[in-house]
Amino acid sequence: MLDTMKRLLRPAEQKTTRIGRLIALESGGRARWTPRDYASLAREGYTRNAIVHRAVRLTAEAVGGVAFVLHDGAEELTAHPLIDLLTRPNPRQDGPGFLEAIAVHLMLSGNAYVEAVRAGGEGAPRELYALRPDRMKVVPGPKGWPAAFDYTVTGQTVRFAQEGAPPPILHLTLFNPLDDYYGLSPLEAAATAVDTHNAAAGWNKALLDNAARPSGALVYAGADGTVLSDAQFERLKTELSENYQGAANAGRPLVLEGGLDWKAMSLSPKDMDFMEAKHSAAREIALAFGVPPMLLAIPGDNTYSNYAEANRVFYRQSVLPLANRIGAALAQWLAPGFGTAPLTLAVDTDRIEALSADRSALWERVTKAPFLSVNEKRAATGYGAIEGGDVLMS
């Protein structure tokens, strides 16, 4: 485009000239967005954006750190092969690491796949593995339901037919209104905010590399309408590139001669409201992942009275729903391999320190309820009945 403008502005009788008074012509450009595939989103979000990385790590580590309680109907089980399997799912991972991997896959991809390995292909599962979602492909059956899953690594594909009890693959998804098989991740919903935040960080880095000075243009105003020759134009570009660009040349004064004048063309950070736009994008990212901005150290959004309250809301609204969903899916999937009795996995909230204030308030309300028997009070707080506990205490 610049060469075209030079040809249009060049006088017909001066074939060796480059330009007159106009040196640079600049447009606003077009926004570039990250493709909505797993690899691109994970690269631009999780690996290159501190807000996404911290939000995902904070949620996944919290999910991995919760304790599950196994129930057989109304009875709590303290010893069971399923508990042992979740405590040590495979030789390479412990229980928290396994749950953390599932949570990360769900937040980055909207999908999580777990493989159950059984001895000889029969009986109860012996090991569990979290598989990468970008390598898995759903194979629909004749009725539309997934009949198998293809897992591809280094050009080799393994097909897992969904047969047996339990089937070899558990597919967890976050609801996607536009897809029957694959889920929608919070990272994809926040992709625009992630691109904005990354672009702001890149612009800031480029500005610092240029000694925190905005770019501009050199305008040549020669006497009697004279213009720069091709050789003068190329020499000027070379000198600017070698002597004044980059961090190594920061602060070097620009020497102008022969009618050259410097015109700043970029808006200042204040005019662009640069920092506020960056913090606004960070808050949108935190919103998509369900993490209070206070926990991510995002300034200007301290809507909670203190850190403890923000942490409590984080566990109630984000960690517990995700952890209970993972636990329920694992229990429903694995229960047939351990017998016919229905098994349920639920988070033991009594062992979560962030919810201790809620637990204390519940105990206080139950203790002050004279119309409840001991067993009713124990049931309200999640404990089993005891002998002689059905009598009201006077």
Q: Which amino acid is at 91?
A: P
pLDDT at 324: 94
Q: Using the CB atoms, write b or e for 28-60: b if 16+ within 10 Å.
A: eeeeeebeeebeebbebbbebbebbebbbebbb
Q: Quote the crossing angle between the two packed helices 50-65 and 95-109, to the nearest 10°.
A: 140
pLDDT at 77: 80
To which H or E segment does residue 130 belong? strand 125-131
Would you give per-residue pLDDT tens digits along the chain (394 residues)? 444 444 434 544 444 444 444 444 343 445 555 667 888 889 989 999 999 999 999 999 999 999 998 888 767 788 889 999 999 999 999 999 999 999 999 999 999 999 999 876 677 889 999 999 999 999 998 888 899 999 999 889 999 998 877 899 999 999 999 888 999 999 999 999 998 888 888 877 776 676 555 566 666 666 665 666 677 667 767 766 665 555 555 555 555 555 666 666 565 655 556 677 888 899 999 999 999 988 888 876 666 678 888 899 999 999 999 999 999 999 999 988 887 668 888 898 888 888 888 777 777 787 777 777 877 777 777 677 777 777 775 5
**Among candidates 214, 199, 220, which has minimal Cα distance to 277?**
199
For residues 308 and 357, give the distance between their C-alpha atoms in angstroms, rounded to a whole number: 10
For residues 29 and 66, give the distance between their C-alpha atoms in angstroms, rounded to a whole number: 48
CA angle 109, 41, 291 (to 5 degrees): 70
* DSSP collapsed to 3 states, 134-179: HHEEEEECCCCCEEEEEEEECCEEEEEECCCCCCCEEEEECCCCCC
Rg of the Cα atoms in the chain: 31
